[in-house]
């Protein structure tokens, strides 16, 4: 009969299960934002800004026309109308990037295009449609400053544009470019080694035969990691072999996520390997699903041991691994999900001392429970609109109770 070391839980079961609060407290104590790198503007969308951005220039850097027309002194249009056209003497043109070089005197005008610099001596733009084409006579009155974009009306030199922690959007890149930024300081993206174990698995997209199972966790977790700002290293499936799993744990990364083999069975090797070669700080959590989850460190890497059942893997990722990846990458630790409050169509039962992750759907503004159990029924998450959390100090929620739902999309 095989003998396991005293601290090995295989075939013994968990001596105790940590609460979710305990697991998160440890995780938050060891999760710290990664260092900064310089990122080209072309690759900065979606990245997390690591330092404030202060403009060193005015945008625009000059007064400019807000439309096509004629730059002039507004006073020269006093009394102008369709019944009293006032002739203008056009002395030149001002084009974007090619301004009029002289000074405009009273009674004179410069033909100007949108965005072109305002000539000296002008304070307004008379739109082209308010000028009689053949005689170049003003047909309407404009006031000083009319149709003129002033220097620094968009951005003033010295203004703080963005604060650290901002997720850079496409329009942010446009603003950064407008002040001459070619690169931005961004938080480094966490490198995540994804280790999907199981002798029964075949690669995603393969047709399983006999007792094989197609890998669902690889594609699902890769997408979640990228959503949370990490970069995925997933070289392929790993067999239930201690040496192969250990090699994966030793990979260059900031985070290692192992799915499968996290519980107390004979072939659940990952917890023993992390305990022997690193630190297994949490193993076994009072939650459903995802009870066999493990958290620890391997060298300077955070390690997450997720159950192989897909719903359990999704739940454990959301609670623990995703949170750490977001923090490492400079994002908010909280779930990136919208919430919805509504009444339950029927009760959700739980038990004191265990947190439950209940999949639900929303029907006509009411929340309908789908499942708490069934950790291998991944399709329950596609039928669901989101999930409800039953805390570990509750026996559940009664029918009609107002509850908060976290929405998958």
pLDDT digits (tens, 9 = 90+) for 186-195: 999 999 999 9
Q: How many domains does the chain have?
A: 4
Closest CA to 137 of 95, 81, 92: 81
What number is the average pLDDT over the span 359-370?
95
Instruction: Tell whether 4 is covered by a domain.
Output: no
Give residue 379's pLDDT band: very low, low, confident or very high (50, 70, 90). confident
Instruction: Tell whether 247 is covered by a domain.
Output: yes
Instruction: Tell whether 8 is covered by a domain.
Output: no
Residues 175 and 129 in one domain: no
Residues 48 and 167 in one domain: yes
Q: What is the pLDDT of residues 101-117, one digit of tens each?
A: 999 999 999 999 999 99
Residues 397 and 264 in one domain: no
Domain-ending residue, one of 149, 173, 204: 149
Instruction: Tell whether 372 is covered by a domain.
Output: yes
Domain with residue 249: its CATH number is: 3.40.980.10
Looking up tokens 């000296």 gives: 120
Residues 6+ apart with CB under 8 A from 217: 196, 259, 260, 306, 308, 310, 313
> Phi and psi for 338 in degrees, rounded to 5?
-75, 160
The reported pLDDT for the residue numbered 1 is 41
The reported pLDDT for the residue numbered 167 is 97
Gyration radius from the chain CA atoms:
32
pLDDT beyond 60 at 405: yes
What element of type H or E holds 324? helix 322-328
Residues 52 and 78 in one domain: no
pLDDT beyond 60 at 6: no
Instruction: Tell whether 1 is covered by a domain.
Output: no
- Burial-class residue 39 by CB neighbours within 10 Å (0-12, 13-18, 19+): buried
Give residue 4's pLDDT band: very low, low, confident or very high (50, 70, 90). very low
Instruction: Tell whether 360 is covered by a domain.
Output: yes
Q: What is the pLDDT of residues 66-78, one digit of tens each?
A: 999 999 999 999 9
Residues 77 and 171 in one domain: no
Residues 216 and 320 in one domain: yes
Residues of the domain holding 303: 20-35+189-328
Residues 248 and 295 in one domain: yes
Instruction: Tell whether 15 is covered by a domain.
Output: no
Question: What does the mean pLDDT of the chain come to?
Answer: 93
pLDDT beyond 60 at 11: no
End-to-end CA distance of the chain: 50
Q: What is the pLDDT of residues 22-41, one digit of tens each?
A: 999 999 999 999 999 999 99
pLDDT beyond 90 at 10: no
> Can you give 238-263 as a three-state secondary structure string?
ECCCHHHHHHHHCCCCCEEEEECCCC
Residues 50 and 169 in one domain: yes
Q: What is the pLDDT of residues 125-179, one digit of tens each?
A: 999 999 998 899 999 999 999 999 999 999 999 999 999 999 999 999 999 999 9
The reported pLDDT for the residue numbered 365 is 96
Q: Which of 10-14, 287-291, 341-345 has the lowest mean pLDDT?
A: 10-14
Domain with residue 137: its CATH number is: 2.170.190.11
- The DSSP secondary structure of 58-95, one letter per residue, reads -BSSS-EESSSEEEE-GGGGTT-BTTB-EE-EEEEEEB
Residues 324 and 386 in one domain: no
Q: Which of 166-175, 267-276, 327-336, 376-385 has the lowest mean pLDDT?
A: 376-385
DSSP classification of residue 205:
T
Domain with residue 163: its CATH number is: 3.90.105.10
Q: What is the pLDDT of residues 234-291, one digit of tens each?
A: 999 999 999 999 999 999 999 999 999 887 677 689 999 999 999 999 999 999 999 9
Instruction: Tell whether 235 is covered by a domain.
Output: yes
Residues 42 and 178 in one domain: yes
Whole-angstrom Cα distance, residue 151 to residue 95?
17
The reported pLDDT for the residue numbered 317 is 97
The reported pLDDT for the residue numbered 375 is 57
The reported pLDDT for the residue numbered 268 is 83
Residues 399 and 286 in one domain: no
The reported pLDDT for the residue numbered 312 is 93
Residues 315 and 390 in one domain: no
Give residue 62's pLDDT band: very low, low, confident or very high (50, 70, 90). very high
Domain with residue 379: its CATH number is: 2.40.340.10
């Amino acid at each position: 009969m095989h003998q396991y070391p005293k601290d090995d839980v295989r075939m013994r079961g968990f001596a105790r299960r940590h609460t979710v609060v305990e697991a998160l407290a440890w995780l938050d104590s060891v999760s710290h934002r990664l260092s900064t790198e310089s990122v080209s503007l072309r690759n900065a969308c979606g990245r997390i800004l690591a330092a404030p951005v202060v403009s060193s220039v005015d945008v625009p850097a000059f007064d400019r026309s807000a439309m096509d027309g004629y730059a002039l002194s507004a006073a020269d249009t006093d009394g102008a109308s369709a019944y009293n056209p006032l002739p203008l003497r056009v002395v030149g043109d001002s084009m974007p990037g090619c301004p009029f070089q002289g000074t405009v005197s009273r009674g004179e005008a410069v033909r100007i295009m949108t965005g072109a610099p305002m000539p000296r001596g002008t304070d307004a733009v008379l739109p082209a449609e308010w000028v009689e084409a053949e005689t170049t006579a003003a047909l309407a009155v404009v006031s000083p400053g009319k149709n003129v974009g002033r220097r620094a009306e968009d951005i003033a030199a010295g203004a703080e544009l963005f604060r650290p922690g901002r997720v850079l959007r496409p329009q942010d890149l446009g603003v950064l470019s407008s002040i001459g930024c070619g690169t931005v300081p961004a938080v480094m993206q966490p490198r995540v080694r994804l280790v999907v174990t199981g002798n029964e698995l075949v690669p995603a997209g393969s047709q399983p035969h006999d007792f094989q199972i197609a890998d669902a966790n690889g594609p699902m977790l890769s997408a979640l990691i990228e959503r949370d700002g990490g970069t995925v290293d997933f070289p392929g499936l790993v067999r239930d072999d201690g040496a192969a799993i250990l090699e994966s744990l030793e990979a260059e990364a900031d985070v290692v996520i192992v799915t499968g083999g996290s519980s107390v069975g004979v072939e659940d090797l990952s917890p023993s390997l992390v305990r022997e070669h690193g630190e297994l700080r949490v193993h076994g959590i009072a939650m459903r699903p995802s009870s066999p989850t493990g958290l620890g460190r391997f060298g300077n890497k955070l390690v997450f041991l997720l159950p192989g059942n897909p719903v359990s893997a999704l739940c454990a990722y959301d609670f623990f691994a995703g949170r750490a990846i977001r923090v490492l990458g400079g994002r908010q630790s909280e779930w990136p999900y919208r919430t919805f409050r509504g009444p339950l169509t029927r009760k959700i039962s739980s038990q004191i001392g265990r947190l439950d992750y209940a999949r639900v759907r929303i029907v006509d503004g009411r929340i309908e429970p789908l499942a708490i159990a069934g950790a291998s029924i991944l399709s329950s998450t596609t039928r669901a609109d989101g999930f409800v959390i039953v805390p570990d100090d509750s026996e559940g929620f009664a029918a009609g109770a107002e509850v908060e739902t976290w929405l998958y999309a």
